[in-house]
């Protein structure tokens, strides 16, 4: 099964986030923030394979430029704790070619834009040079307001803490990937459901996050990393012990199944022997019954012969007594 990932997060001024900075970083671009006067320059960033802005059909032409799009998105928010952007982060199937991965990410982004009416900034990244080389992924940075010809309008509230909407897009992302994998001849499939929902007993992996991953890549050892390593060691030991226990139970189960099979065979053999004995008993009883019937029939015939003989003698005597030659 291919790897599945889709997560959604927000960028808020309450946490000192800026949509302009997020867009510049993901696209390896240079954006001047008109609200703060800060220039976010990430043009030296490596690993960005493709980026493009995806807009609703009625969007104004100025929105096609990344810098204007995100400055206008920031200008549309007036509160100091406003949510200024939302991001969909996706794992892309490494089984597909680079062209197909781009096409797949673009198709999903278009569905998001058509459904919610916001503007989206799509960026495809290659795996980190020190990480898993299968980790192709995409960032879809979207505005929190709908974009029409007159500019930004109402908020996309349907995505604010709405698990049904997020679950819909998680399922859709899995379906879309599987459509591409199937169409282009790959057996791998993804599943957006949790391991428990899929019926697996193994536990999910641990995700360190960008901060801890960056520290590890620099070779720095921190309290958090040490605790994570200790937890990982203990967890590994626990899984090994659990696997050993499962193996022992499986052996016991096979032995019990073998015993049941042997017992079943013994019972079947005993049943056949009992049937044979019953058949023998039935044959003997039938033979004895036939003999008895023959004896009874023979005795009846002899009795009838004796009766007939007595009757014949009686008739002879009667004839002698009543005949003309009788002389008293």
Q: Residue 149 is part of a domain; what is its CATH number?
A: 3.30.930.30
- Say which residue, 191 or 315, is predicted with more confidence: 191
More reliable by pLDDT, 218 or 73: 73
Q: What is the pLDDT of residues 15-50, one digit of tens each?
A: 999 999 999 999 999 999 999 999 999 999 999 999
d(CA 221, CA 218) in angstroms, rounded, equals 9
pLDDT of residue 257: 78
Q: How confident is the model at residue 161 (pLDDT cuts 50, 70, 90)?
A: confident
Q: With contact defined as beta carbons under 8 Å apart, do 95 and 108 qualify?
A: no
Tens digits of per-residue pLDDT, 79-89?
999 999 999 99
**What is the pLDDT averaged over residues 215-222?**
61
Residue-averaged pLDDT of the chain: 85
In a domain, 269, yes or no: no
Residue 122 buriedness (CB in 10 A; 0-12 / 13-18 / 19+): buried
- Split into its structural domains, the chain has a count of 1
**Does the residue 258 lie in any domain?**
no
**Strand residues in 107-252 grouped as ranges (E):** 118-125, 137-148, 151-155
**Residue 249 within a domain:** no
Q: What pTM does this model have? A: 0.64
Sign of the CA dihedral with 123 first, then 126, 129, and 135 last = positive
In a domain? residue 70: yes
Q: What is the DSSP letter of 203?
A: P
pLDDT digits (tens, 9 = 90+) for 90-149: 999 999 999 999 999 999 999 999 999 999 999 999 998 877 888 999 999 999 999 999
Q: Do residues 181 and 95 touch, judged by C-beta distance below 8 A?
A: yes
- Among 129-138, 172-181, 318-327, top mean pLDDT goes to 172-181
Beta bridge partners of 17: none
Yes or no: say if 156 and 112 are a contact pair by the CB < 8 Å rule: no
> Mean pLDDT across the stretch 159-164?
86
* Cβ-contact 174, 93 below 8 angstroms: no
Q: pLDDT digit string (tens) for 43-57?
A: 999 999 999 999 999
* pLDDT value of residue 327: 42
Q: What is the pLDDT of residue 115?
A: 97
Q: How much of the chain, in percent, has pLDDT values that exceed 90?
A: 54
DSSP class of residue 40? E
The answer to the question of residue 130 being in a domain is yes
pLDDT in the model for residue 48: 97
- Is residue 117 situated within a structural domain? yes
Buried-exposed string 283-297: b where 16+ CB fall within 10 A, e elsewhere? eeeeeeeeeeeeeee
Residue 148: CA atoms inside 13 Å, Cβ hemisphere, count?
4
CA distance 90 to 320: 132
Q: Considering the domain boundaries, does residue 281 fall inside one?
A: no
Q: Is residue 317 part of a domain?
A: no
What is the domain extent for residue 192?
Answer: 6-205
Span 293-315, pLDDT tens digits? 888 888 888 888 888 888 888 88
């Amino acid at each position: 099964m291919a790897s599945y990932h889709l997560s959604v997060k927000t960028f808020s001024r309450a946490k000192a986030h800026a949509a302009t900075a997020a867009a510049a970083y993901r696209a390896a671009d240079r954006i001047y923030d008109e609200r703060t006067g800060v220039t976010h320059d990430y043009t030296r960033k490596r690993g960005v394979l493709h980026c493009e802005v995806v807009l609703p059909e009625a969007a104004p032409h100025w929105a096609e430029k990344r810098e204007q799009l995100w400055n206008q998105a920031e200008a549309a928010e007036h509160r100091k704790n406003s949510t200024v952007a939302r991001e969909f982060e996706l794992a892309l199937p490494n089984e597909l070619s680079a062209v197909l991965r781009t096409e797949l990410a673009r198709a999903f982004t278009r569905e998001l834009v058509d459904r919610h009416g916001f503007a989206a900034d799509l960026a495809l990244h290659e795996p980190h040079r020190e990480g898993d080389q299968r980790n192709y992924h995409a960032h879809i940075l979207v505005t929190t307001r709908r974009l029409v010809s007159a500019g930004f309008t109402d908020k996309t509230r349907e995505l604010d803490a709405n698990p049904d909407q997020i679950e819909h897009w998680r399922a859709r992302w899995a379906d879309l990937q599987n459509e591409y994998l199937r169409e282009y001849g790959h057996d791998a499939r993804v599943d957006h459901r949790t391991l428990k929902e899929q019926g697996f007993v193994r536990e999910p992996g641990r995700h360190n996050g960008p901060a801890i991953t960056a520290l590890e890549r620099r070779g720095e050892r921190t309290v958090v990393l040490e605790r994570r390593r200790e937890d990982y060691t203990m967890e590994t030991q626990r899984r090994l012990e659990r696997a050993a226990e499962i193996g022992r139970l499986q052996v016991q189960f096979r032995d019990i199944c073998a015993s049941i099979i042997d017992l079943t065979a013994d019972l079947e053999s005993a049943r056949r022997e009992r049937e044979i004995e019953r058949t023998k008993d039935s044959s003997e009883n039938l033979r004895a019954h036939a003999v008895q019937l023959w004896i009874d029939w023979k005795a009846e015939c002899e009795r009838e012969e004796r009766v007939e003989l007595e009757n014949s003698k009686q008739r002879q005597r009667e004839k002698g007594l009543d005949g003309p030659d009788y002389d008293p």
